[in-house]
Amino acid sequence: MLTLVNARLVDPKGDRILDGGLVIEGGRIAEIFEGAREGLDCGGRCLAPGIVDIGVKVGEPGERHKESFRTAGAAAAAGGVTTMVTRPDTLPAIDTPEALEFQQRRAVGTSPVNVLPMAALTKGRDGREMTEIGFLMDAGAVAFTDTRAVADTRVFQRCLSYAAGLGALVVGHPQEPRLSAGACMTTGLYASMLGLPDVPPVAERIGLERDLALAEITGARYHADQISAAAGLPALARAKRAGLRVTAGVSIHHLTLNELDIGDYRTFFKLTPPLRSEDDRVAMVEALAEGLIDVVGSFHTPQDEEEKRLPFEEAASGAVGLETLLPAAMQLHHAGHLTLPALWRALALNPARLLGLDAGRLAPGAPADLVLFDPDTPFVLDRATLRSKSKNTPYDLRRLQGRVLATWVGGREVYRREAP
């Protein structure tokens, strides 16, 4: 039994912050209390449910030199992420029960945090033939995604229809493939100044409108992985008002960065979808605060130096984010956009509910997956200190606030920050 005392308890479900502590027994929260007791002193810092991060790329199999379950798990623990929901865009793709079981064996005993796999929606992620969704669910897949748009609408409709019959969650990537092919910036004056191939934000709207229409006629559970442009928000709002089984996520990078951060062709800011205008960024923050967008994720995508140290158009897309998600998200709190409980609904409670997990909350009986953090500590991020194998973060040398002090998974301490 472990008793944590003198903490500010961030309760996303109750939308409150309590001064008190909790008791952990048998890997679960046994009691929540207010006031003082004897136990492990949290020093008046914030104690919240561990983050459930949907859309994490781990390089096993095929790209272990970029990230392994060991290094990704270490980064997650240091970032307060207690559950990684991994993507199937590996080499080869996770599109068979055998590939899924191999990945799970690699994760067990290697990662200190929970690992839940997503599987590919189509074989080879090529958008032509549906995977064996039922068999993959039996093998442990929690959702299905190609991590890119399925261009063939008929194939995507069949996938949604089949998934609806099994109650499976489909995670879509809303983009119109032809408009977005080869683009690395958002259409606008800045893209023209840099002379880079661009994609208009309407490409996201077109892709989202199609996906939502198919979700409506099939009755499938659909989650848009990354909403990044204001143009798509009205369609999402209409779908939710109509009672469709749809949710949406947003990348922490699209909440805190904009296209001007690319500066002089800085490839650590090359992402998919590309960074948007400041107006789009503000619209994403407002949609999150209103509850229109449900989930915030890191979309951790490790890339090695050789693939990032290239001309912008040729460089690989993506950024690491497991260890920077919490301090980057704290910018939204310190700017007054979201309270801590509201922020933790998007980081922990909502993604847990989406996947049917009994996590993301502070309540008796809930898993003791917890993060202790100081929301106010300022620091300058040095990418060389990140625990990920790859160091491609857009926050390098940026001043951030918010330090993870300790992380518990099932009541077991998996990370504690050393005193400086």
Amino acid at site 45: R
For position 420, what pLDDT does the model report?
63
DSSP 8-state class, residue 116: E
SS (H, E, C) 244-311: CCEEEEEEHHHHHCCHHHHCCCCHHHCCCCCCCCHHHHHHHHHHHHHCCCCEEECCECCCCHHHHCCC
Task: Note the pLDDT tens digit of each residue in 187-241.
Answer: 999 999 999 999 999 999 999 999 999 999 999 999 999 999 999 999 999 999 9
User: Can you tell me the distance from the alpha carbon of 410 to that of 389, in angstroms, rounded to the nearest whole number?
Assistant: 26
Nearest to 55 by CA among 298, 329, 320, 393: 298
Is the bond into 273 cis (omega within 30 degrees of 0)? yes
**In angstroms, rounded to a whole number, what is the distance separating the alpha carbons of residues 402 and 329?**
9
- Round to whole Å and give the CA distance between 344 and 325: 12
| Chain centre to alpha carbon of residue 219 | 25
pTM: 0.97
49-360+390-399: CATH homologous superfamily? Metal-dependent hydrolases (3.20.20.140)
Residues near 29 by beta carbon (within 8 Å), at least 6 away in sequence: 22, 23, 362, 363, 364, 365, 366, 367, 368
Backbone angles phi and psi of 348, in degrees to 5: -130, -55
| Torsion from C-alpha of 398, 76, 69, 357, nearest 10 degrees | -140
pLDDT (tens, 9 = 90+) of the chain, 420 residues, equals: 999 999 999 999 999 999 999 999 999 999 999 999 999 999 999 999 999 999 999 999 999 999 999 999 999 999 999 999 999 999 999 999 999 999 999 999 899 999 999 999 999 999 999 999 999 999 999 999 999 999 999 999 999 999 999 999 999 999 999 999 999 999 999 999 999 999 999 999 999 999 999 999 999 999 999 999 999 999 999 999 999 999 999 999 999 999 999 999 999 999 999 999 999 999 999 999 999 999 999 999 999 999 999 999 999 999 999 999 999 999 999 999 999 999 999 999 999 999 999 999 999 999 999 999 999 999 999 999 999 999 999 999 999 999 999 999 999 999 999 866
Domain extent listing, the chain: 49-360+390-399
117-152: burial string, b at 16+ Cβ within 10 Å, e else: bbbbbbbebbbeebbebeebbebebbbbbbbbbbbe
- Reduce the DSSP state of residue 388 to 3 states and report it: coil
Residue of 6, 15, 73 whose CA lies nearest to 38? 6
| Strand spans (E) along 110-212 | 114-117, 169-172, 185-186, 198-199
